[in-house]
Amino acid sequence: MRILVIEDEKKITDFIKRGLKEEGYAVDVAYDGQEGHFLAKTNKYDLILLDLMLPKIDGLTLCKKIKEEDPATPIIILTAKDTVKDKVTGLDSGADDYLTKPFAFEELLARIRAILRKKDTKSPTKLQVDDLVLDLLTHKIRRGGKEIILTAKEYTLLEYLMRNAGTVVTRTMISEHVWDMNFDTFTNVIDVYINYLRNKIDADFEKKLIHTIRGRGYTIKG
C-alpha cells in the first residue's frame, strides 16, 4: 500500500513516515499544497494524509481538487482544528475521515486500516498461492503449515507478488508499489529482497513458487 503524506511540519511528517514505513507502507511526502497536488496527480496512492494549514494551496482547497480529479482515493485530514464546525467543513470538502492533533499513532493506523478495508469491501482476508497462505489481518504467513517470519518490507513485497499471482511484475512496478518515490531504480535492492523471500519461502520446499522472468521481472505461481 502506498500513502502520500501532505504536511508542512517536518517533525510531524518524519514521525508519521517512520511509523508507516515500519508497518510496511510505502510513503511519499509533500511539504506544501502545490507539491502535494502534483504528486497526487502524478502517482496512484491508496490513501492520502492531509494537513489543513498548508502553504501555497490550503488543505481544504486541495482536498476538493484531489476528490474532483480522483474521487476514489481516500483522504484523512490531520489537523489541530478540532471544533465541530471544522470537522464538518473538512468532511464536507470530501475527506473520508478527520483526525485532530495531537493523536495516538495507533489510532491513526486503525483509521487507515478501516478506510482501506472500506475501499474495497470485497477484498479477501487471505491470499493463497499453492500451499503458501498470507493472512492480511494477522500478517502471518504459512507454507505447508509452517509459519514463516518476514520483515515488514519482505511482507509488503510478498503481498504485492501474491496480489498479482500468475502475472509478471516488473522492477518498475515493484518499486512504485513497495518502495517510495526516492527509490533508486538502478540499485539491485529489489533483486536482494527477492532473494531474501526465496530463502524463506522456497528454500525448504521442493516446489518453487517465486520465478524470475528474464528481461521482464518476477512472478509467483503454483
3-state secondary structure the chain: CEEEEECCCHHHHHHHHHHHHHCCCEEEEECCHHHHHHHHHHCCCCEEEEECCCCCCCHHHHHHHHHHHCCCCCEEEEECCCCHHHHHHHHHCCCCEEEECCCCHHHHHHHHHHHHHHHCCCCCCEEEECCEEEECCCCCEEECCEEECCCHHHHHHHHHHHHCCCCCECHHHHHHHHCCCCCCCCCCHHHHHHHHHHHHHCCCCCCCCEEEECCCEEEECC
User: 180 pLDDT band (50/70/90 cuts)?
Assistant: confident
pLDDT of res. 44: 87
Mean pLDDT of 211-218: 92
Above 80 in pLDDT, residue 121? no
More confident residue, 97 or 174: 97
> Are the CB atoms for 155 and 141 separated by under 8 Å?
yes
**Of 44-48, 102-106, 119-123, minimum mean pLDDT range:** 119-123
Domains of the chain: 2-119 (3.40.50.2300), 126-220 (1.10.10.10)
Whole-number mean pLDDT of the chain?
91
More confident residue, 113 or 49: 49
pTM of the model: 0.68
pLDDT of res. 122: 55
